[in-house]
């Protein structure tokens, strides 16, 4: 029996382990610089900036997560951004990811979001197939941009 529920601060060690597992899957295990303490402060501190759902079983504990945050579109207004959806490797393709996705989509409805966004790596064919199946828009027009922590620190305004 799988239960989907809102995550709590007590869940963070298992959540962090799944984030590490995701980094392995994405062939970037050394790219995770976030810490458990950072997650405690950022998710449960004075000004929380993310929330998450967990999938768990009584026997195994947390086996999947969907971490999201509220963002804002100048054109549309409030939106939910799904940062990561992770299911432990041996349970992928068992429907748990869809249950987590559904929970975030329902949250988007409940908070009156005008848009629900996420990203997918171009080589992640199972995820792309899922997103196509549910009728999501896969936009090839926009280019993702970012700056690393070092680039931010070195940026001259």
Residues catalogued as catalytic: 131
Give the ranges where 26-155 is alpha helix by DSSP (H): 36-44, 96-110, 125-133, 149-154
Taking the CB of residue 106, how many other CB atoms lie within 10 A of it? 12
Length of the chain (residues): 157
61: left (phi over 0), alpha (psi -120 to 50) or beta: left
* Torsion angle (degrees, nearest 10) of CA 39, 40, 46, 48: 40
């Amino acid at each position: 029996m799988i239960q989907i529920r809102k995550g709590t601060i007590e869940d963070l060690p298992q959540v962090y382990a799944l984030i590490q597992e995701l980094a392995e899957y994405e062939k970037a295990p050394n790219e995770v610089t976030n810490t458990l303490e950072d997650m405690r402060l950022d998710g449960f501190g004075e000004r929380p900036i993310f929330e998450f759902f967990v999938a768990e079983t009584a026997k195994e504990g947390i086996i999947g997560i969907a971490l999201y945050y509220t963002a804002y579109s100048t054109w549309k207004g409030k939106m939910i951004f799904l940062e990561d959806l992770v299911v432990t490797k041996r349970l992928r393709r068992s429907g748990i990811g869809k249950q987590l996705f559904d929970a975030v989509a329902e949250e988007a409805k409940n908070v009156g979001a005008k848009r629900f966004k996420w990203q997918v790596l171009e080589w992640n064919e199972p995820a792309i197939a899922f997103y196509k199946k549910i009728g999501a828009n896969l936009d090839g027009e926009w280019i993702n941009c970012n700056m690393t922590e070092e680039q931010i620190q070195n940026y001259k305004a």
